[in-house]
Amino acid sequence: MIKTLFRSLLGSDSAGAAGRQTVLETQLAEADARGDLAAAIAVRRELLELQPGRSEWWVSLAECQRRAGDLQAAGAAYQQALAAGAPAVQVLLQLGAVHTELEDYPAAEEVFRQLVELDPLHADGWCMLGIVVKDQRRYEDACRHLEKSIQLSPALSAAWFNLGLAQFERGQLSAASQSFLRCVELRRGRPWGADRVALLERDPQPVFEPMDMGVNEIKLRHDCEQLEYLLERGLLPSAYARVLGDYRSLLEEISGKVDENTLVPFDVQRHLLVARTYKRPVLIADEPLQVESLINPELDFAAIEERYLAADPNVATLDNLLTPEALQAVRRFCRESTIWNNIKPGYLGAYFFDGFCSDLLLRLAWELRAHMPHVIRDLPLNMMWGFKCDSQLPGLAVHADAAAVNINFWITEDEANLDPEGGGLRVYEHDAPRDWDFRRFNKEAGGIQEYLDAIGSKPTRYPYRANRALIFDSDLFHATDSPHFRPGYLNRRINITLLYGNRKA
């Protein structure tokens, strides 16, 4: 009788646990369906209390915590998944990525070394190992790991990009330029040359993801203006007048039907010339500039550095950054190159890894660091981009950047700016809190503004001037200062940004 009662109690407990699990799984499906991350995490934790040995549940919990921005908890969950017997290679890759996001590069290195020991043919593992070794400034080792990754997977664009960064830090500017070019070729195809007309008759490679083929008025209006400019200057064959006509037709077709925050697909058969040239390197204006220096030799960089380091917060402006020849070369590159592929609300971006790279820009990045040894020090170049604004749309919302030092400079002529006291940058007096992750301090403009208002942080306005640079602590919140520029392609406000170091530097 006692045995029977014991079995009955066990069965009751088992049935209760099974029933509880069924209820929790239903709650989990509902939380996932409505995108409620907090509830999804809480339910997963309850499920794991019932069955702590379910490795796939630990992985799922870690993924949710990453999406919620709780990277420390995600790392701990991945460790639990490994202890519970999850597939080691896949989980190690994600665990190492979490350590990398946390900028705990030694921990990330240890994890990625475990991964490539388990699977020596894992190209992504070698790539990530190279990246975190690079981030610890061991550039020779980084090159070796990244070259191993490329040997295993020659089409891995991230490996080529990070190899270029490591080569740049070793002073191998020519090799770095070739690595960056290869990265862009894998993303956008080879730069078009004398065969530009023939290429209009065939479908280009690589094939883009559908999202990358989305259009809106901001992008199409810019591309129409750029094509018209290039045709007028004789930089494109006359056959491209048909291409311009197709872009204008598509712009008219979507006009008034999509706002600056939205992208829409288009009929590629109806607009075949758009489809074959959209976001392609039809023209890259990277001509060598044979001058002794790109930086204005009359600038007193010792005084500029002293001013920056004495300022609280660390901000300094300097005018006439580039020599006249260098300024004209940078303008040509930005105006003539078909690289403006990242569509933002009110402006277009061109990024280091996606075409915003040339021998000229790499040399500029090198010279800037050499001229400011006490500000930039030996901090590595991490990112570079250009932004091209519409004439009166707002530009960049308030944010901070994941770096140590920002150098931001403007190149459009002053005559284009209709507001001489504005159009530049607003820099706030407060840093991004150290416990904020990248998404929070870089992407969530509404929350940032609420935080700044709550602490009474006020911005300083730095007016737009052509060839003016603003150097500042990357942690400082900043935003475009209400641009009001003349209409027309040559009047578009263009700024260039270089980021050195990381937040912990």
User: How many whole angstroms separate alpha carbon 280 and alpha carbon 230?
Assistant: 15
Domain with CATH 2.60.120.620 in the chain: 301-500
User: How many whole angstroms separate alpha carbon 46 and alpha carbon 30?
Assistant: 15
Q: Where residue 128 falls among pLDDT bands split at 50, 70, 90?
A: very high
pLDDT for the residue 26: 85
Answer yes or no: is pLDDT of 115 > 60.
yes
pLDDT for the residue 431: 87
44-188: which CATH architecture?
A: Alpha Horseshoe (1.25)
Whether the Cβ atoms of residue 477 and residue 401 lie closer than 8 Å to each other: no
pLDDT for the residue 505: 59
CB count in 10 Å sphere of residue 317: 19
User: How many whole angstroms separate alpha carbon 157 and alpha carbon 355?
Assistant: 12
Answer yes or no: is pLDDT of 14 > 60.
no
State mean pLDDT over 168-196: 96
pLDDT for the residue 40: 87
Nearest-10 crossing angle of helices 105-118, 88-101: 160
10 Å CB burial of residue 178 (0-12, 13-18, 19+) is middle
Q: Where residue 10 falls among pLDDT bands split at 50, 70, 90?
A: very low
Answer yes or no: is pLDDT of 90 > 90.
yes
Answer yes or no: is pLDDT of 8 > 60.
no
Whether the Cβ atoms of residue 379 and residue 500 lie closer than 8 Å to each other: yes
Domain with CATH 1.25.40.10 in the chain: 44-188
pTM of the predicted structure, to 2 decimals: 0.92
Answer yes or no: is pLDDT of 174 > 80.
yes
Task: Provide the percentage of residues in the chain whose pLDDT is more than 90.
Answer: 78
pLDDT for the residue 15: 60
pLDDT for the residue 11: 47
Pick the closest to residue 169 from 145, 146, 139 (CA basis).
Answer: 139
pLDDT for the residue 4: 46
- Residue in the block written with tokens 């029933």: 19
Q: Is 348 helix (H, G, I), strand (E, B) or coil?
A: strand
230 vs 20 pLDDT, higher one: 230
Q: Where residue 2 falls among pLDDT bands split at 50, 70, 90?
A: very low
pLDDT, tens digit, for every residue of 45-61? 988 899 999 999 999 99
Superfamily of domain 301-500: q2cbj1_9rhob like domain (2.60.120.620)
Question: Residue 358: which residues within 8 A CB-CB, separation 6 or more?
Answer: 177, 284, 286, 333
Q: Considering Cα of 302, then 303, then 307, then 308, what sign does the dihedral take? A: negative
| Residues 253, 257, 259: CA angle, nearest 5 degrees | 120
pLDDT for the residue 7: 45
User: How many whole angstroms separate alpha carbon 463 and alpha carbon 419?
Assistant: 9
pLDDT for the residue 395: 75
Of 81-95, 256-270, 313-327, 406-420, give the lowest mean pLDDT range. Answer: 256-270
State mean pLDDT over 135-143: 97
State mean pLDDT over 281-289: 93
User: How many whole angstroms separate alpha carbon 117 and alpha carbon 133?
Assistant: 16
For residue 486, the number of C-alpha atoms closer than 13 Å in the C-beta half-sphere is: 12
User: How many whole angstroms separate alpha carbon 477 and alpha carbon 460?
Assistant: 11
pLDDT, tens digit, for every residue of 477-503? 999 888 899 999 999 999 999 999 988
